[in-house]
Structure 1
Amino acid sequence: MTFSLSRRSFLASSTAALLAAGTLPSWAQQSQLRLIFWGGQARADRTYGVVDLFTKDHSDVSIEGEFLGWADYWPKVATQTAGGNQPDIIQMDYRYIGEYARRGSLAPLDEYVGAGLDTSSFDEDQLRNGTVDGKLIGISLGVAAGAAVYNTKVLADAGVEIDPMRWTYDDLLTQGPKVSESTGGAVAMAPDGSGIELLFENWLRQKGKALYADGQPAFAPEDVTEWFELWAELRAAKAIISPDEQAIDTGVLETAPLVRGKSAMNFTTSNQLVAYQTLIPDPLGIAIYPATSPDSTGGHYRNSSQYFALSSTSAAPEKAVEFINFFVNNPEAASLLGVERGVPASAAMRDAVAATLDERGQMVVQYIADLGEIAGDVPPTPPASAGEIEVALKTKSQEVSFGAQSPADAGPAFYNEVIQTLGRTN
């Protein structure tokens, strides 16, 4: 029989034994913090590297970390929150931060600004992005934008060229089949993006619309139908992967079609270029999401890739804030983190990290700069049920791709589901 003993369990049992013996060393007075974040092994290695840096100079603090893939992360956080067992420091996404803040699960950070939390070098929009109902809830961990990460060798071997800042859905339709033909059907140019909320939002914004406005959908049923019809055409042309291959993608990098060698690109966010390159031997490039026309603007925006937030139930909030401040303001930490979570939101940390970046890191920084006038304003904080609606879009897209529902029926069905979900949560 085998068993494992966590560091926390070891410390607890050891402390109990020492108390019984009448001795208690100074480390028993440590503040024990828990940290949870989503991401793959590459992100975990960087994150735990910063944890080690911090605890080396803060012997009064121990930090227990946990990471999961995107699809498993939010159910775990929801379960912990419902059970009153939230970690002290929680990585948050813009879809969820408003929901958790308004439930009272996250503590405002305003009282710590200038008193343990230094935001003086932060971009104003990055502070604004983490503000909910006038209170600072999340500290941006990086600036990122929607992006297509692509395998330069696969495209070159197929004779496909794209303009990274101007390529279009028409290019995907006409050039995509070349990749499939050149690989004997083994590789498609792109994954099926019909269930990717960020991609749908980008397409809507290019049309002058949006996902939400004042807590309600800012699109119409016919927009959803048109969206599903677009991807049905791409699917029929073999410009994108099959429904069976797409269904394998669980949101973990290792299951992405690009990593599995089933597609020449993936629709993701700019900061993920670094993580993808650790898993793929061929050189990767970075481009915008497909444009509706070569001169289209407004679809992209410079968002906060994610935030660190403080649990309202933390027993050591000052120590948790001290770690968050170290994470975003320490030059050594910045060098370890690079741009895997996005370009640092602090100008001082951007300067500190610039000279340490490899070629892919430099590409991420340049991509954010090159967006220029292509980018529009950051949308407002989404409604509380945005995460649930994101999952619903993926589910509906699978129904369409497998032929269980037509685009004409799926458009109104998804729209009605959005209305019902927003009505229930509001």
Structure 2
Amino acid sequence: MFNKKRSLAAGALAVSAAVVLAGCSGGEPEAGATYDPDEKVTLDLAFWGNDVRAELYNEVIAAFNEEYPNITVNSSFLDFPAFWEKRQTEAAGKNLPDVMQFDYSYLRQYAQNGLLLDLEPYLGSVIQTEPLAQNILDIGVVDDTTFAIPTSTNAWGMYTNPVLIEQAGVEEFAGGSWEDYTDWMADVTEASGGSFWGGSDYTGRIQNFELQLRAEGSYLFSEDGEPGFDEERLTEFWESGQRIRDGIGVPQQRVEEILPLSPFDTAIAASELTWDNFGSGYLGNLGEGYTELGLVAPPVTEEGAKDLYLKPSMLHAIAANTEHPEAAATLVDFLINSPQSGEIFGTNRGIPASETALEAADLDPLSQQIADYEASIADRLGDAPPVPIVGFGTLEEKFRLLGTELNFGTITVEDAVSQFFSEMDVVLNQ
């Protein structure tokens, strides 16, 4: 049994120390702060991305200023790792930007340390909630309080390569159990004559384990950081991948040779289970000769189970240290809900979570395919799990590394399970 400590231990995650310092020192805006539409206000906006996304933000800010000429928005961007390194430093000094593009994996840590503004007073008034489904709004909730609003959504799915499937002379995966999927992979691998494989060992991804646990009525981790599985269940999961590791899936040595690309990116695997917003990257990497991909639902563990869920591609949050909370909330609403935002950004940030933004977006064929896919799995969509525990990224990476060792044959399932539970013991602060 794991007893997660309420206080966050320094070292549980790389960013913990800086964030805890800020959380312990206050920085909440004064109660009753109001927004004067005639007052000149300046807001800092930070996001991760590249020059293309930066130009889109500039266009959206220009549209925002047409409606709110009194609010000056100073934007800045970095790549993803550098973005969070800078946030750590700012958090320690209680000087976070007013509005931030936010990642799901950091939400609990920043929220629980008092670094993010409680958005509840602005929901339904400054920040429109009608265009956002309740299960989407719930994604930004930590400890019964809304701290962030999803900008866009994605869901777990299976991409398939129609070119390889045609070459193999097999049909598209028609759905079924995990064993059915393994059988399908075996058919593709055999039919290819050694030139490509049906897929990779899906037991190396913690999300596939989560999918099975959710179908069984359990979870990876509870709100309090309690695991929803034991050693026996993890052993069963990793043992289920042995057939794939015995020759059905891409050999690990081949996987290592093509890094940082994946077997699916390089057309040596006919399928890959992943988040549905990876599609454009796949098409770009596959290159000439690829104009479309297959996108189907993952295998089924239990018929009728609500095992899938919508995850935010990203969110927007407001710093607790902002001096202009209502103006910041006005900007967040525009970035998420406005038709101008949907029209300008399109799917650059993922499929828009807001109906008003989505209706205004011009979806390319792949984006429309993803939107249609998310609509097609509505019957399998359940409530999103709690916001990831502090340290989830560490455990996800450990899971992946152990999966790699299993594929190399350098570790037994028993040892892999033991190592993962030892890592959990450290991360969850027993």
**TM-score, normalised relative to structure 1:** 0.78
Question: Where in structure 2 are there 5+ consecutive unaligned residues?
Answer: 1-39
Q: Secondary structure at the match of 2:401?
A: helix
Within 5 Å, which residues of 2 pair with 1:337-376? Answer: 337-339=345-347, 341-353=349-361, 356-376=362-382
Aligned residues: 382
Q: Secondary structure at the match of 2:352?
A: coil
Within 5 Å, which residues of 2 pair with 1:232-271? Answer: 232-243=242-253, 245=255, 249=259, 255-271=261-277
Q: Percent identity?
A: 26
Q: Is the 8 A contact 2:351 2:371 kept in 1?
A: yes
Name which of 315, 330, 339 aligns with 1:307: 315
Within 5 Å, which residues of 2 pair with 1:194-209? Answer: 194-209=203-218
Aligned match of 1:382: 388
Compared CA separation, residues 89 and 191, structure 1 to 2 (3 A): farther
Q: Is the 8 A contact 1:80 1:86 kept in 2?
A: yes
Letter of the structure 2 residue corresponding to residue 232 of structure 1:
Q
Letter of the structure 2 residue corresponding to residue 311 of structure 1:
A
Within 5 Å, which residues of 2 pair with 1:83-122? Answer: 86-113=96-123, 116-122=126-132
The structural deviation recorded for 1:268 is 1.9
Name which of 44, 48, 65 aligns with 1:33: 44
Q: Is the 8 A contact 1:296 1:374 kept in 2?
A: yes
Q: Secondary structure at the match of 1:395?
A: helix
Within 5 Å, which residues of 2 pair with 1:276-425? Answer: 276-281=282-287, 282=290, 283-292=292-301, 295=303, 297-314=305-322, 320-339=328-347, 341-353=349-361, 356-423=362-429
Name which of 211, 216, 226 aligns with 2:236: 226
Q: 2 CA distance for matches of 1:229 and 1:409?
A: 12
Name which of 136, 151, 160 aligns with 2:170: 160
Aligned match of 1:137: 147
Q: Is the 8 A contact 1:270 1:342 kept in 2?
A: no
Q: 1 CA distance for matches of 2:96 and 2:240?
A: 42
Listed one character per residue, the Cα deviations across residues 218-238 of structure 1 (whole Å, up to 9, x for unaligned) are 101112112222223212133
Q: Is the 8 A contact 2:167 2:192 kept in 1?
A: no
Question: Where in structure 1 are there 5+ consecutive unaligned residues?
Answer: 1-28
Name which of 78, 92, 103 aligns with 1:66: 78
Q: 2 CA distance for matches of 1:77 and 1:261?
A: 38
Q: Is the 8 A contact 2:141 2:147 kept in 1?
A: yes
The structural deviation recorded for 1:302 is 2.6
Q: Is the 8 A contact 1:141 1:305 kept in 2?
A: yes
Q: Secondary structure at the match of 1:212?
A: coil
Q: Is the 8 A contact 1:216 1:419 kept in 2?
A: no
Q: Is the 8 A contact 1:186 1:262 kept in 2?
A: yes
Compared CA separation, residues 259 and 351, structure 1 to 2 (3 A): same
Compared CA separation, residues 217 and 264, structure 1 to 2 (3 A): same
Compared CA separation, residues 262 and 30, structure 1 to 2 (3 A): farther
Q: 2 CA distance for matches of 1:30 and 1:181?
A: 65
The structural deviation recorded for 1:244 is 5.0
Worse overlay, 309-318 or 129-138: 309-318
Q: Secondary structure at the match of 1:306?
A: strand
Compared CA separation, residues 301 and 185, structure 1 to 2 (3 A): same
Q: 1 CA distance for matches of 2:103 and 2:369?
A: 24
Aligned match of 1:6: none
Compared CA separation, residues 386 and 324, structure 1 to 2 (3 A): same
Listed one character per residue, the Cα deviations across residues 362-412 of structure 1 (whole Å, up to 9, x for unaligned) are 221221111132233322233323222222212222232223320122123
Worse overlay, 218-227 or 269-278: 269-278
Letter of the structure 1 residue corresponding to residue 198 of structure 2:
M
